[in-house]
Chains A and B, each alone.
Chain A
């Protein structure tokens, strides 16, 4: 599976932190943000953590905080998140089929994050979303 660079103009739908203590770093970063940020859906695994955009009450555009060092992701296909500025090197109508094949081969189910490495291999992160307490957003929703 090959990747190509595209203009990085996609809306950011999620942010991925990787490496040691990724979940703690994400938690710390979000704790310093407006309370809305602490209500965003998250996912984490060994050595990685991600936070996903959500709309503000009564608005259409999904919001996500700024976190230094995080990899911005966009939802390239329903449930499949790629790094902003990257796309699978395949005709657009073939991409869903390719992802379906990948899902079956790697026993991976969307939602999932795919991020290519420099050596061409792909890191896949199966996303199991959890929603932190909505309490912090009381002021926002009120």
Chain B
């Protein structure tokens, strides 16, 4: 597959995430993680109180994907047929047990199941097979399912051991909190804007984008991070965090996908951060961020910057976020004749430089951020020289 196709796919995905995240406040990281799951073809579990936008975000993503989707709010009395399809009565007359799966979960590429742990044993057993083996079985009836990723949500993690084992099938776990008080005003603005939106939807993400990235992720070379990954795994196990071998092996797919979205077909230290999301405990995820402060210090991803920030220690996350902002801003230089846009661009550069200098000294600035800081300085100096030249020219013409 040509590199240009991959880089174009990454750009399209990034632009799609930008468009989607404008509709929500403080939910970019959730969207990024769902996208990471889609590229790695793995399942995502969202844990958080009701009303935090989990369903709305996943529905928005599903609506704008060129893929078949299925969503359902599971309750204690939900029947298996409501998810997997009712039995085909004509088939029953012929003595065959065959569900009608059209439009149901077994035919979906993307599934969103709210309140997943309320499902009955029959539902969870069928789901287990679908999640693990991409196979739906009912009696003698068995079919392969096209499921790419299942996103499930719940208010809390189950304490029951059997349900916890089921939850472990979800590779990525994100804890979703209500929007912070400092963003309440933005939340109200976004909610009001949403209420006035007349159904205008974003164009769907081209199916080829996801397929290209899914295929390319499998080609990423992860040999360079195996030792570091193993070291982190040992450290996590010493901490007493339960993590199955299956999860650890699958974690490499996330690292490969992260590397791809960073723009590299060789995974590096920048791409180890998804490991934080393998842990299914809010407290343990927080512990891990501190424990792996050094190992995840180089974490960076311009497309998944918010997920990186949530997965890593404060200062590393801050560096990653500043790097992503700097890259975006430096690539967005306006045309010279657009004076207003140029002025805004310079003000943003100035602000970013101030934030970088406030956080890092010449000694502590991370290697990734150093050249970007230098590029900002050069851009600002160039502008200062240009302003001086313009000033001299207008003085001489006035004279």
Contact = CB atoms under 8 A, between A and B. Distances in A.
7 contacts: A15-B354, A33-B350, A35-B343, A56-B347, A65-B347, A66-B350, A85-B359
A127 to B, nearest CB: 19
Interface in B342-367: 343-344, 346-348, 350-351, 353-355, 357-360
Interface of A: 7-12, 15, 32-37, 53, 56, 60-67, 72, 84-85, 139-140, 142
Contacts of A85: 358-359
Interface string B300-340: 00000000000001110110000000000000000000011
Contact of A139 (B340, B351, B355): B340
B374 to A, nearest CB: 13
Contacts of A56: 344, 347
Query: What are the 6 closest A-B residue pairs judged by CB atoms, nearest first?
Result: A72-B358, A9-B318, A66-B353, A7-B314, A65-B350, A84-B358
B186 interface: yes
Interface of B: 186, 313-315, 317-318, 339-340, 343-344, 346-348, 350-351, 353-355, 357-360, 380, 384
A59 to B, nearest CB: 8
B290 to A, nearest CB: 11
Nearest to B343: A34
Contacts of B317: 9
B318 A34 contact: no
Given A12-B355, A84-B358, A37 B314 contact: no
A142 B350 contact: no
A34 B354 contact: no
A72 B357 CA distance: 9
A120 to B, nearest CB: 23
Nearest to A59: B344
A37 B358 contact: no
A74 to B, nearest CB: 8
A69 to B, nearest CB: 10
A63 B186 contact: no
A63 B343 contact: no
